[in-house]
A and B are shown apart, each in its own frame.
Chain A
Amino acid sequence: MALLQISEPGQSAAPHQHKLAIGIDLGTTHSLVATVRSGMSVVLNDEMGRALLPSVVRFCADGSVVVGHDAQAAQALDPQNTIVSVKRFMGRGLKDIADIAHLPYRFVDAPGMLQINTITGIKSPVEVSAEILKVLKRRAEKSLGGEITGAVITVPAYFDDAQRQATKDAARLAGLNVLRLLNEPTAAAIAYGLDNAAEGIYVVYDLGGGTFDVSILRLTRGVFEVLATSGDSALGGDDFDRRIYCWILEQAQLPPLSAEDNRLLLTKAREAKEWLSEHHEARITCVLSHGRVIDLTLTAATFNELTATLVAKTMTPVRKALRDARLDVTDIKGVVMVGGATRMPQIRHAVAEFFGSEPLTNLDPDKVVALGAAIQANILVGNKNDDELLLLDVVPLSLGLETMGGLIEKIIPRNSPIPIARAQDFTTFKDGQTAMSIHVVQGERELVSDCRSLARFELRGIPPMAAGAARVRVTFQVDADGLLSVSARELTSGVEAHVTVKPSYGLSEEQIADMLRASFAHADEDKQARALREAQVEANRLLETVAAALKADGDSLLSTEERARIEAAVSNLRQALTRDDANAIRREIAALNQATEAFAARRMDMSIRKALAGHKLEEIDS
């Protein structure tokens, strides 16, 4: 029998130690966490063997927070403090929520994003979502037996910038290192495509609890290229529940009900919907708080009638995505169904009829997104060193600026591949104008009032000139998470006024830090210890990366002096690591990053040259 090797304390066992990476599907109705274990993507269950964590958070009078099944069980008892479907409120203001009158919460209007007044104080949707993420993080740590290096969090493809930013903030608030925000249909395509070695053009039809996405992807030897995406971020399985709920109200001729009774009926409606996926009729029985007995039978035929307009509504984005991709139904090789709501037979029939073929349903529609996210997380963290998987995603909604008269100038059109940057020049309207107000919006319509306002900022210090003489260049950059940053500067004068904005609804770094500090006050570890540990982890990661880069390309790309400079910075960082000073470690990390700047640029050039080597030859031939 071979002897097992044990490494010296303090040294890593292997140069490529397996890092713990997770994929999280933060859903409207429930959330999941998955990881790749022995090459297989698996969903992690709770202690009772349950995979799905209901996305329900209850804030209790004693200051405790209950998440999941127990919170769900309490929702009819304590509807005001039990937040369900919080995802619908992410990055949203009060005026964006259509059915606000039917919801039991005490909402507080706040600039950018609404808040909810609970028994333990005012909570933003970001904080509520962070509670769900914390539970999943703990579940993963327990199950995997170690600290999580990084996480991929999924978002609906049709989420706008505000909703994405809110999701990323929630993950950071939960103490997660966010490797990437990944679009849900793309995640599903990974899990599905890798499982089936699929090639060709596929449609992902993703009807979740509160959001609808459709993405069209081209699969070519491990490359998942999104050609177009569309959807409705306020349409999902919840809407089908509400149709049944309204039907109950009408059939039983009920007067306005208490929050508790409303919640009870909504739960009954959801149960009836789920029952009808397998049966021809569902019996709905319950007793309301004043003793009123409800006993109704809902047939599948009636349910279909009630929801026909909702089903039809999902087809509009499908057509739009096909048009955007300049494709016809006949070009589509298969349709993948994602999201629990796609279990409804009327949805499957409608999709089958539209595409002229049965949709693919062989993976669990509730789990497929988390499974795909875990595969991506595993690759991003560096566990799998293969080049076979690559995701190329797009911006779901056009990004633009307000110009004169409330009109919009589109800067980045929808379905542009990300990351992307675009610049547009603007000029002054009046003589001597020294400032310009810049209003960033997202959406497809021509009028500002029909689009989502993302951020407003002012560019000041433009030298006084005649109207139309100044040239202000506004640059939009969308990163690989689909998040936007905007900068502006005046060109003609050589005076460079420069400002980079983060959209206004997002939390600032300081706010996040404050919230984290507040949450640590309750935790048993103190904030300095955590800051130190984070700095150490980052330092070790950096040292490992630099060592690998030096080994691979140090001899060929660096002069003796350049190499000596980098090695000096490496040794300084190592030195700093021996002392327990987070600030000193951070300083040396920055210095080493600085020292490797030119090296990083040369390595990138080299890999591009290598990739193009074959093409260059062909060009000379032709």
Chain B
Amino acid sequence: MNLRPTFGIFLIPTKERKGFHDLSNKGREVILFIQQIPVVIFLVLGLMGPCLVAQDTPIPPRVKFQALLKEYQGAASSGKVLTDQERLAFVGQAYIQRDKIASKFVDLALKHPGDPIALDALLQAIWQVNTTPWPVEIVGRNNSWLRAFSILVRDHLGSEKLGQACMRLSPGFRKEYETFLRTVMEKSPSKANRGQATIALGNFLANRKQRVEIIKTDPMQSTAFENLFGKEYLNGLLQREPIIADREVEAILKLAIRDYGHVKCEDGGTVGDLAKASLFALRSLGVGAKAPEIEGRDQDGLLTRLGDYRGKVVVLDFWSEY
């Protein structure tokens, strides 16, 4: 059954509920998406390149950082509706472009290790979190984020900005994200960082387990994940009992509540609140649980209740048109 041709993975990590959908759609579904809704794509242009070439007078690290950031975020409309193939190519280009700039951020941090901008540059280098198995031959490979992680762990474990970076990683899939989150959780001298790393790790593991369950149903997605994230890693995950994975998530979430319940997160919520919501999902929104009632308005403004559908099999589809 093809429910609707407008699916796209739109991962919303706890702290970053906006603006994540630009690069996080799943390729073969987006192809269908394009047939339905015109999408104007924005192309990243390397407009700032010339600014970085002039070396007559030393450019302060902050200025270099701002130029790179503008290049990273800078976008211009292509002014046209893209076809399926064009869109896929665009995503690949955008990934590769951003990866290249990420590499420059790491270089900047290495060149000015004592400057406060080094930390910002490193955090920017890990900003792009690949949540979707885009074909590796299109999005390419780049390990600048790995270099950024090792410098962050070496020089910045106590920085208060690290907690936010941890939260950003929770919808990712890479093995190294788990390693990084565990390192911050265990070794950061900052309680705020340890707390945010703990809830981020709990959510990362929960998200990853959900992904693995999907991969089990679909050889195509399995191959894509394998190519991007490594065969050995994926096989290890596929062989794990789901119940064991759930127990691990539960233990970490409980730890987050017990030890870091009052730690504030960037959006004003606490680690405890987030962990409780995730625990509720694990225990009460899993297979075998009774679905909570939903009461609300439908697209015609009519009051609608999920419970009114009792006696029928219901596919409940959380969706967005993006």
A and B part of one assembly: no
